[in-house]
Amino acid sequence: MAEKKKAVTEKEAATTCACQKVRMAARAVTRAYDRALRPSGLRSTQFSILVAASVAEGIPLHRLAEILGLERTSLTRNLAAIEREGLIQVTSVDGRTRSVLLTPVGSARLKQALPLWAQAQQTLRARVGEKDWPILDHSLAKLKEVA
């Protein structure tokens, strides 16, 4: 006996959509971190890229994109802006493989940004609460893993 499937309603989508929720959260958090990082002249994404490039210097671009959870082609575009500013240099490893190097200017900028980041992170963490923080961390990791 085929059961009648309940039709999905607009209201349900409006109140439960996980995509909407995670995007909304990401926008809010990004606005906060961007504001905090502003004195450094870096946006959240640029900060993330510099940090990753600093920790994993010399790895191929497609690996860096993978680490950052970014489409490879999105990374290419993001790199253009910070390369224009002289913070990084994209160099050829071999004829087809390229990788990111931090310039001294980029390193200095990152050093300047780190305390600003720490402040934003600490503020958010305090507001989320020590109890919920690791739960949040786990939730986001899970989401990324299964999506």
Residues found near DNA in the complex (CB under 7 A): 23, 27-28, 30-31, 34-35, 43-46, 60-63, 70-74, 76-78, 81, 84, 90, 93-99
CA neighbours within 13 Å on the CB side: how many for 47?
Answer: 22
Distance CA 32, CA 54 (A): 23
127: contact with a copy of itself by CB under 8 A? yes
Decide which of DNA, a copy of itself, none touches 108; Cβ closer than 5 to 8 Å per partner kind. none
13: CB partners within 8 A, 6+ apart: none
Question: Could you say which of 4, 11, 84, 96 contacts a copy of itself (CB under 8 A)?
Answer: 11
Strands of 1-147, DSSP E: 88-92, 98-102
Interior angle at CA 56, CA 80 and CA 37, nearest 5: 55
Instruction: Provide the token pair at 72.
Output: 């490879």
137: contact with a copy of itself by CB under 8 A? yes
Decide which of a copy of itself, DNA, none touches 66; Cβ closer than 5 to 8 Å per partner kind. none
Distance CA 97, CA 33 (A): 32
81: contact with a copy of itself by CB under 8 A? no
Decide which of a copy of itself, DNA, none touches 90; Cβ closer than 5 to 8 Å per partner kind. DNA
Distance CA 103, CA 47 (A): 14
Residues near a copy of itself (CB under 8 A): 7-11, 13-14, 16-33, 44-45, 47-48, 51-52, 54-55, 68-71, 110, 114-115, 117-118, 120-121, 124-125, 127-128, 132, 135-144, 146-147
